[in-house]
Chains A and B, each alone.
Chain A
Amino acid sequence: MMLILAAMLLWAFGWWLNLRLAEGPYAHTRAIQVTVPLIFGLTILIVWELLVRGLQVPLVILPPPTMIAGRFASSTDILWADFVQTFVKGALSGYIIGCCAAFVMAIAVDRSHFLRMGLLPVGNFVAALPIVGTAPILVMWFGFDWQSKAAVVVVMVFFPMLVNTVAGLRETTAMQRDLMETYAASYWQSFFKLRLPAAMPFIFNGLKISTTLALIGAIVAEFFGSPTLGMGFRISTSVGQLALDMVWAEIVVAALAGTLFYGAVAMIEKAVTFWHPSQRG
């Protein structure tokens, strides 16, 4: 009972603190803008801990955060092996192959107006479909190991990337293209000097969407069969053993991997498209 009361008090205190900070005179400073969500997140974690202990929620329903952290710390070697298997081998290799393939395809499509007209609606259509469903087929073709996961990721990231790149390559105005023509620039000259840089914001948009898709594809594909390691495998087997602290630890890994992956691509974007209005503000 005490713990529940403490949780409620803490919640009220955290909210009050954030209220003061958000309405306060320094609300626009960077430090406060980082602190407020951190306080919010921390409050949730502590309230979670107190409530789980206070209400004596069974561990097979919801383990407290400290236990998840403990499990995370004590099984870093397993988590690391799973991370390498799913993220580095499955998601990352598939991401690179898929994005490169889509990029090359986009350049090929871009040269023909007819193809572009036909392929864009189809690509947009396919990008909205539940492509993870191809996982059982690809697992059947490429076996249980990471190759099949990479294949799922390739299929998943291909169309969003293709659609974005094709749209980006259209992003020049007639005036700009005419200027290149008056310079007697060849196709490739105007491609590298004008159209590719202009397409970069779109390309990075596709790359950023694809980071999350890649992780989703690699993890879900493991639900259809995998060797005895990998994040998706660990999640589904640990759920079966009711070892929920392991599941949560694995989810923490997935969250970290997803955020860092996205952050890395966003950083590269910042360096490449420094000229774009969205990056200057």
Chain B
Amino acid sequence: MKSILAVLTVVFAIIAIWYAASVPMNIRGVLVEAERAGEVVDPPKAADRRQIDELELILDNPFAIDDTWEQERPRLPAPHQVAEELWDTTVEKKITSKRSLVYHAWVTLSATLLGFAIGTGLGILLAVGIVHSRVMDMSVMPWAIVSQTIPIIALAPMIIVVLYSVGVQGIIPKAVISAYLSFFPVVVGMVKGLRSPDAMQLDLLRTYSASKAQGFWKLRLPASMPYLFASLKIGIAASLVGAIVGELPTGAVAGLGARLLAGSYYGQTVQIWSALFAAAILAACLVGLLGLIERVVLKRMGMA
């Protein structure tokens, strides 16, 4: 209970700071608009205002503070503007409409999930291979670890364009990026997990004269579950980032990445922020869902 209170306090503090920050961020723009609307602004000329810092402008023109939270294209939109835009583009619009964030989120989500499924599937397979074969372990594992330190997301634009030129488009190129981004964390985590049973446990199975397959299904695989879920959570977050970045180079037709890019082309800051929050909510839901599955699975296995 107390921790919820603490979290709420922090969240409120962040929102308060956000509101406070949007005043100095937007004051210049507001004053320009006010000047055009014929209101008395102090100092009246834009050139003079450029010399003065934001805080003084606010003190000289207190009437403008309210407007900094209601601008059309603010430098920093106020929280309620973003919330309104989110509400507008999710609940008020039809899901099939191009202006609906649900539609864009689904475009991104479908690529993410497809890629995530492929990436984790292959990752688990490779991890099983690595654990059972010394050669694979020694040849592949160092590269899998090194790949974690490399910004492999830089490959994304190339994959999109190359696959496009071969005639593959739509969901697949983005899914490929999502797949390889979630692949390596899963390999590394899963290998660690499959190796987590200690010598005592392995010996016990040997005294039962268990076969290698039995040892895998009855000991290694169950023991790897906590590690698997930890890396799945990293993997799905990486997959989502991959799908979003994968939407950038194609000229941005649909998807959350496209909304971000289009927003930055046309200076639609509110749209950028709402797309950003949609992406954040999506990521939070995915990670939260995995956390829930993890809890249920580990509980049924008696591990949590």
Contact = CB atoms under 8 A, between A and B. Distances in A.
Interface string B128-153: 00000011011111110010111101
Contacts of A255: 150
Contacts of B134: 22-23, 27
A114 B9 contact: yes
B129 to A, nearest CB: 13
Contacts, number: 163
Interface of B: 2-3, 5-11, 14, 75, 134-135, 137-143, 146, 148-151, 153-155, 157-158, 161-162, 165-166, 233, 237, 240-241, 244-245, 248-249, 256, 260-261, 263-264, 267, 269, 272-273, 275-276, 279-280, 283-284, 287
A23 B279 CA distance: 48
Contacts of B153: 216, 219-220
A120 to B, nearest CB: 9
B276 A134 contact: yes
A254 B155 CA distance: 10
A278 to B, nearest CB: 13
8 contacts: A40-B143, A128-B283, A129-B280, A133-B279, A212-B149, A219-B151, A235-B158, A239-B157
A18 B6 contact: no
Contact of A258 (B11, B150, B244, B269): B150
A23 B135 contact: yes
Given A15-B135, A22-B135, A259-B149, A132 B245 contact: yes
Given A37-B141, A60-B165, A216-B151, 13 more contacts: A18-B138, A19-B135, A40-B143, A132-B245, A133-B260, A133-B276, A225-B264, A232-B154, A239-B158, A239-B161, A251-B158, A258-B151, A259-B150
Contacts of B287: 128
Interface residues of A, number: 65
Contact of B7 (A117, A239, A258): A117
Contact of A130 (B8, B140, B141, B279): B279
A136 interface: yes
Contacts of B166: 61
A interface secondary structure, majority? helix
Contacts of A136: 260-261, 263-264, 272
B284 A125 contact: yes
Contacts of B267: 140
A262 interface: yes
Interface string A99-131: 000000000000000110111011001001110
Interface string A213-254: 001100110011100000110011001101010011011001
Contact of B249 (A114, A129, A223): A223
Contacts of A140: 75, 264, 267, 269
A212 B158 CA distance: 20
Given A18-B138, A37-B142, A220 B269 contact: no
A72 to B, nearest CB: 15
A221 to B, nearest CB: 11
- Which among B135, B264, B272 has the greatest number of chain A C-beta atoms within 10 A? B135
Nearest to A113: B6
Contacts of A242: 161, 165
Given A215-B151, A250-B154, A118 B241 contact: no
A116 B300 CA distance: 32
Interface string A129-149: 110111111011100000000
A84 interface: no
B138 A121 contact: no
B150 to A, nearest CB: 4
A125 B244 CA distance: 19
B99 to A, nearest CB: 19
- Which among A21, A136, A255, A259 has the greatest number of chain B C-beta atoms within 10 A? A136
Given A18-B139, A137-B276, A140-B267, A258 B149 contact: yes
A46 to B, nearest CB: 15
A172 to B, nearest CB: 21
